[in-house]
Structure 1
Amino acid sequence: MNKYFLPVLIALSVPVALSAQTNRVEKDGFLGIGTTTPAAPLHIINGKQEIKFGTGTNTSAYSLSLGLNDDGINFDINSSVRAINFRNIGNMKFSLLPDGNLLIDRNGDVSLYTGTAAVEQNRYLALMNSQSFTSASGLKAGGVLVSGDFSFASPGKNDLVVKGNTGMGVPAPKARLDIAGGSPWTTNGWGKAIKLANANTIEFTGLQRSFGIGTTQNILYFFHANADGTGGANYFMMADGTTGNVGIGTVLPPGAGYKLAVEGTIGARKVKVTQGSWADFVFADDYKLLPLKDVKNFIDQHKHLPDIPSAKEVAQEGLDVGEMNKKLLQKVEELTLHLIAESKRNDELQEEVKQLRTVTSSLGKQVFHLQQKR
C-alpha cells in the first residue's frame, strides 16, 4: 500500500491557494488549512467546502489506513469488531460491519438505483457469489430473479421469477412451492397458508384444457377452460358455502334443497339410502287392504296405481328414490296379501270340489245299485 496516499489525496482533492487563504497550526497540534481556528487535528476549508480529519472518539487505539492498490482504493482499520461508517446530518447511515454484512439505515425507505436516466432502464442489480462465479440473484427494473444465472429469465416489472424451489415455513423445500404453517384461521385448527381474493383462481394447465378452482360471493367453483386461456369458464362442479349444497355438471338452482345435484348419469357399484320408515305397516292387523275391484276402478280413472306418483308429477318434481322404493315395496306387499287371500280361496274351492266329487261318486254308486235291483 502507498503510505503517502493520504497527503497526496488531500492535496489533489482540496486545492488550496496559500496566497488567498489563512493557515494556522494551533498549539495543541491542530492544523488548519483555510482556517485560523482548526476544530480537528486536520481541518480544511476551501470556500464552502470543509473537511475534518481525526474527529472520532474511541476507548482503544484504532488506526485507519487509506491506500491505492491495483484493486482500487482501500480503507483499512486495525480492528475486527469495529465497522466502517458513513453518515450524514439526517442520520443516514451506511456501514460495512465487522461480520462482513452491509447495513443501510435511514429514517425512511432505502432505494438502490442502477442509473440516473430520466426514463426507466432495464438493468439488473446483481447479487453475485464472487467475481469468479456467475451464480447469482438479482433485481431488474422492478422485477426479481432468483436463479443461478441471469440467462434463465428476464422478469418483467413487479414479477418474481424463482428457478429453484421456494419454501414458506419450510427450511428445505421439496417442491417448486412448499408451504407449511400459516396464520390461525379456524377454531378447530386450520391454518391459512394461501389466500385468494374474490373471483381469483388457481390454474392447472394441461395440454388440451386448463382447470381452475376459485370462489366468488359464496360459491366455490371447479371449472375448465381452453388451454390457451380463451373462451368462458365451464363449471363442472360447484359448492354453496351458505347451504353446503354441491352441484356436479349443473349450476345449483337458487333455494334448491338438494345436498347433491347432478346433471347426467351416476355410475356406482352400490347405492345405500337410509330410510326413516319402511312398508312393513302393510302386514299390520289393522291395515285396510284396498280390494282389487277398487284398485281396478282407481287405475281406470287415474291411469296409475294408488299411492304412486303419476308420470306428470315425476316429470315436474322428480323422484325420491328411497320413498319410491318404499311405495313399490308397499305395492308388492299388498299384492302378496291379495295372492295369499286368493290362494286361501283357491284352497277352499279345491276342498269344496273334492267334497262334491265324493258326494257325486257316492250318488253314482247308489244309482248303479238301484239299476241292478231292477
Structure 2
Amino acid sequence: MKKLLITVGLLASISLNAQWTDSGVNLTTTDIVGIGTVSPSARLDILNGDLELMQSGGTLNNSRGIIKFGENDIRLFAIQYDGTQSSPGNKLLFRGSTGSDDSYNLNFMSFSQTGYVGIGNIEPREKLELSGNFRFGNSSHQYIHFAEVDGGDGFGILFDGSGSGNDNMFHITGGAGNVSSQNKHLTIRRNTGFVGLGTISPNERLEVNGNALIQGSLESKKVKVTATPGSVPDYVFDKDYRLKSLSEVEEFIKANSHLPNIPNSKEIETNGQDVGYLQLKLLEKIEELTLYMIEQNKEMVELKRTVKSQAEKIKILESRSSN
C-alpha cells in the first residue's frame, strides 16, 4: 500500500494534466512530462533533480541500466552501464547496433572507473587507448601536444597544410608554448617524402642542417662534400705560392713525424677526421708532389742533356787519341 501511495504521489508531482494509461505492465502517456516543473520543454524535463538508473547485480543487460537512441522503433545507439567487473573495473559504454535487435555489437567508446578511456574497445589499459585508425579534421594546422603539465614545455606532432599544392609538411616540434610556435626539429615533405633535420624545407631524401653522429658504419654509393670558396688547393699553382724545399720537408718530418699541414695521429684519434678538410689537404700534398716531380723532371732532362753532351765530347776525344 505504501508503494502505491508513493507512486501516486510521484505521478501527481510529475504533472496534474498528463493523461496516463496503465496496462498492468507499462505506465504510458503521450503528453510532455515535467518533473519539478509545470512548463516542460521536452518530452521529459527534469528541473533541479536527478535521473538515476540502477540495476540489481552487475550483469551486462541490454534491458537494464541502458539509455537507447534510434528512430521508428529501431534502436541504433545506447549508453550502457557495465557492472560485470569487480569495482573499480566497472565501465560506462557508448555502443551501437548494426541491426534492430538490441544487440549493440559495436563498441564505440568506454569509460572505466579508473579514468581510462577506450575508443573502439571496452577494456582500455591506458588513459586513452585507441583500437583502429585515427584521422584529423580539415584544419590547415593540426597537432598533438605532449607535455608534463597542461600548457607546459614539451613536444608536438604538427601537420602544416599551408603549402601550395601537395607541398604540405609534417613536423616533430619541441620547446615552449603552442605546438605551432615550437622549434621544428624534424620535417617530412608530403609531395616528395624528403626528410629534414634542422631545416623545414628539405630538398634531398635526408637533409641535415647541423652535425650528425653515427655510432656505426655508413655505406654510400656516393658522398658529396661541399667546399668554401678559396679552400680548394689550386692555390698551390699560384706563382707566389711558397713551396717548401724537399730538405725543409725532410726536416719537418724528422721533427714532427707527419707531413706539414696534415693533422697528426693524436689529433685525429682525439677529435676524429674531417673528411672534407682532409681530402683537400691530401689534394694539396698531391699538387705539391706534382710540382716536385715537374722540377725533378726538369733536372733529369738537363742531366740527360749534359750526359749526352759529355758523351759526345768523350767520343771525339777518343777518336783523336786513336789517330
**Short-chain TM bin:** 0.5 to 0.7
Does 1:95 find its partner at 2:42?
A: yes
Counterpart position of 1:146 = 95
Counterpart position of 1:288 = 242
Q: CA deviation at 1:95?
A: 1.8
Q: CA deviation at 1:264?
A: 1.6
Does 1:163 find its partner at 2:102?
A: no
Unaligned runs of 5+ in 1: 1-8, 15-48, 55-63, 78-83, 97-101, 165-174, 183-189, 203-212, 223-238, 242-256
1:197 to 147, 164, 183: 147
Unaligned runs of 5+ in 2: 82-89, 98-102, 122-131, 149-153, 158-171, 177-181, 187-196, 200-208
Counterpart code for 1:95? A
Aligned partners of 1:51 and 1:159: how far apart in 2?
Answer: 38
Aligned partners of 1:127 and 1:112: how far apart in 2?
Answer: 15
> Taking structure 2 as the reference length, what is the TM-score of the superposition?
0.58
Secondary structure of the structure 2 residue equivalent to 1:196: strand
Q: CA deviation at 1:293?
A: 0.9
Q: CA deviation at 1:92?
A: 9.7
- Given that 1:308 and 1:327 are in contact with CA atoms closer than 8 Å, whether structure 2 keeps it comes out as yes
Secondary structure of the structure 2 residue equivalent to 1:313: helix
Counterpart code for 2:273? L
Counterpart code for 1:162? I
Counterpart position of 2:52 = 113
Kindly, what percent of the aligned residue pairs are identical? Answer: 23
Q: Please give the per-residue CA displacement for 1:7-62, whole angstroms capped at 9, x wherever unaligned.
A: xx99x947xxxxxxxxxxxxxxxxxxxxxxxxxxxxxxxxxx889846xxxxxxxx
Counterpart position of 1:320 = 274
Aligned partners of 1:298 and 1:52: how far apart in 2?
Answer: 111
Aligned partners of 1:200 and 1:275: how far apart in 2?
Answer: 35
Secondary structure of the structure 2 residue equivalent to 1:194: strand
Counterpart position of 1:330 = 284
Q: CA deviation at 1:269?
A: 1.7
Aligned partners of 1:155 and 1:50: how far apart in 2?
Answer: 34
Counterpart position of 1:274 = 226
Secondary structure of the structure 1 residue equivalent to 2:235: helix
- Given that 2:144 and 2:156 are in contact with CA atoms closer than 8 Å, whether structure 1 keeps it comes out as no
Decide which moves more: 146-155 or 314-323.
146-155
Secondary structure of the structure 2 residue equivalent to 1:177: coil
Decide which moves more: 127-136 or 265-274.
127-136
Q: CA deviation at 1:340?
A: 0.7
Counterpart position of 1:254 = none
1:86 to 23, 31, 34: 34
Counterpart position of 1:68 = 22
- Given that 1:94 and 1:105 are in contact with CA atoms closer than 8 Å, whether structure 2 keeps it comes out as no
Aligned partners of 1:272 and 1:216: how far apart in 2?
Answer: 33
Q: Per chain length, whose mean CA-contact separation is higher, i.e. which structure has more relative contact order (CA < 8 Å, sep 6+)?
A: 2
Aligned partners of 1:346 and 1:87: how far apart in 2?
Answer: 119
Q: CA deviation at 1:145?
A: 3.7
Counterpart code for 2:116? D
Does 1:364 find its partner at 2:321?
A: no
Counterpart position of 1:176 = 133
Counterpart code for 2:309? Q
Counterpart code for 1:194? I
- Given that 2:95 and 2:105 are in contact with CA atoms closer than 8 Å, whether structure 1 keeps it comes out as no
Aligned partners of 1:114 and 1:52: how far apart in 2?
Answer: 21
- Structure 1 runs of 4+ aligned residues shifted over 6 Å read 49-52, 120-123, 130-134, 151-154, 199-202, 213-222
Aligned partners of 2:77 and 2:16: how far apart in 1?
Answer: 39
Secondary structure of the structure 1 residue equivalent to 2:213: strand
Q: CA deviation at 1:320?
A: 1.5
Q: CA deviation at 1:135?
A: 5.8
Cα RMSD over matched residues?
A: 4.7
Q: How many residues align?
A: 243
Counterpart code for 1:269? K
* Alignment map for 1:304-315 (pairs within 5 Å): 304-315=258-269
> Taking structure 1 as the reference length, what is the TM-score of the superposition?
0.51
- Given that 1:289 and 1:334 are in contact with CA atoms closer than 8 Å, whether structure 2 keeps it comes out as yes
Secondary structure of the structure 1 residue equivalent to 2:34: strand
Aligned partners of 2:143 and 2:183: how far apart in 1?
Answer: 20
Aligned partners of 2:120 and 2:70: how far apart in 1?
Answer: 16
Q: CA deviation at 1:194?
A: 2.2
Aligned partners of 1:353 and 1:92: how far apart in 2?
Answer: 130
Aligned partners of 2:47 and 2:321: how far apart in 1?
Answer: 140
Counterpart position of 1:59 = none
Q: Which has the higher strand share?
A: 1
